[in-house]
Amino acid sequence: MSLPIRNVAIIAHVDHGKTTLVDALLKQSGIFREGEDVPDCVMDSNALERERGITILSKNTAVRYKETLINIIDTPGHADFGGEVERVLGMVDGCILIVDANEGPMPQTRFVLKKALEKGLRPIVVVNKIDRPQADPHGAIDKVLDLFLELGADDDQCDFPYLFASGINGYARNDLESDNMDMQPMFEAILHHVAPPVGDPNKPLQLQVTTLDYSEYLGRIVIGKIHNGTIRMGQQVALVTETSAIVKGKISKLMGFEGLKRIDLEEASAGNIVAVAGFADANIGETITCPNEPQALPLIKVDEPTLQMTFSVNDSPFAGQEGTMVTSRQVRDRLFRELETNVALRVEDTDSPDKLLVSGRGELHLGILIETMRREGYEFQVSQPQVIFREVSGQPCEPYECLVLDVPQEASGGCIERLGQRKGEMQDMQMSATGRTQLEFVIPARGLIGFRGEFMRLTRGEGIMNHSFLDYRPISSDMETRRNGVLISFEEGVATFYAMKNAEDRGAFFITPGTKVYKGMIVGEHNRQQDLELNVCKAKQLTNHRASGGDELVQLQAPIDMSLERALEYIGSDELVEVTPKSIRLRKLAKKLAKR
């Protein structure tokens, strides 16, 4: 007799505490043995996830509560990884929407909630971080209800159950007056409000692939929910591909989930989420079914990308010095391999064999891909991100974003002015008693390219900026996104303190003395709006005369740290970011320099 099942996804805006709450559920479910060393954010297993404190890939886990198997899927909160959210929502019968008690619903909350409501799910709302000093749990519930109504939720969805929780302290409560100190109310809410999976174990097999994994021993592993039928180890099955072709195969390994481990299964029936090996070419959205009666499930539809950039072979003077994967074939193979697991990504060939057009959901989505590749030893260069225009009802349209800023009150005027220049329209403005202002804008996606660095300067690093895709609208007029010019090296060599100190009044540097530079490399930002070429390798002429005051300690201003995301936002249309395992460099296009 198989256990009763509940399949539930945890969705929320980035940094509202999804992974911390899953930690608490796992620890209190008894799956870890006593004394076992369990790290924080156990579901964020990827190195980049731990470094950045965000969830990038959706993960499966399962716990048992009162003889019920609860499959939990932790999803990313950032809209750039919405492709992960969209496909896993098809595996579950309910979802837990987590909202910060202080911030309330944010742009990505709208995005993930909209996807859940479209699937017909009835979310359980959890107001997290109620232990914070400025928390307003009831205010957050009211805002969530407003958001449900705004997104067109039906009466049943609007009558949502809700809980109050503190993930970091490991408790959930049905009301604020309760003194409960464990997660039992959340387990009970899942049992009572999430419907058991529908599916007939006696019908022909239908399993839809929603996630892909890879093992050196088993090859490709596909993860998905069994919609109908029963699957057995060693069973002969068929894969219905995107093109409706039927590929016959055999289940070489069948696994289920328990805690953080995968366990071997002999069989599993409708409603279970399982991992299957045996299909080397299976892709997301395809159906594993009965070979005698192959019946495909509808393919998973994922929103189209909104941003694109060109990946090309590194042709700078320093090419090939730091990377091991440098040829166009190696970069091309790696990008097309990424397509197997990254459903929101698109890769297209161009008229040049050394260039590929890569499209994604946003700067973070593409930035994570670039960072992953450079850590694997790849060396290449990328162009400025460009928005993807699309024709809707015969009219050229561009993507628009919903932008929410949380800024100190004294910085709000400057932010409104700059966003007005970038065609942003303010929708809402709220001031809090803490001296901060929350601003909401609708803005073309191209108006946000390069804005984050400017925003950080305007708010002196104290601002919080969140945005998510809204829809496609008719193209707005040209916008002013001008930034200052750049400082360009016209010599190849090593930057010297002497040369940089003499040029310090011209602008701010991105490099430090001792950095290797080449002709055309961008070394800093000019104080004025035109570019300036200078020699940062010039050495001090040695004489036998001692300069007065020469023994005084002279220091340079701290350089601007150009991280990968900041570099992608910063570059102009005639500039490139050179990416290697050891360095991030900015440079001018070679043909632009030739004209100068």
Binding residues: 15-20, 128-131
List binding-site positions for GTP: 15-20, 128-131
Structure-token match 């790290």, residue found: 39
Collect contacts of 409-413 with beta carbons under 8 A, ≥24 apart. Answer: 409/435, 409/436, 409/437, 411/458, 411/459, 411/460, 411/462, 411/463, 412/437, 412/439
Helix (H, G, I), strand (E, B) or coil at 11: strand
Cβ atoms within 10 Å of 88's Cβ, excluding its own: 28
Distance CA 7, CA 16 (A): 21
Q: How far is CA 132 from CA 100, 108, 173, 405, in A?
A: 10, 21, 15, 21
CB 72 within 8 A of CB 62: yes
Q: Where are the beta strands (DSSP E) in 132-182?
A: 162-166, 171-173
Helix (H, G, I), strand (E, B) or coil at 67: coil
DSSP 330: H
CB 13 within 8 A of CB 124: no
Nearest to 308 by CA among 361, 358, 346, 342: 358
Q: How far is CA 171 from CA 23, 62, 71, 423, 519, in A?
A: 11, 19, 20, 44, 59
CA atoms within 13 A on the CB side of 229: 20
Annotate 393-430 with b (16+ C-beta within 10 A) or e (fewer).
Answer: eeeeebbbbbbbbbbeeebbeebbebbeebbbeeeeee
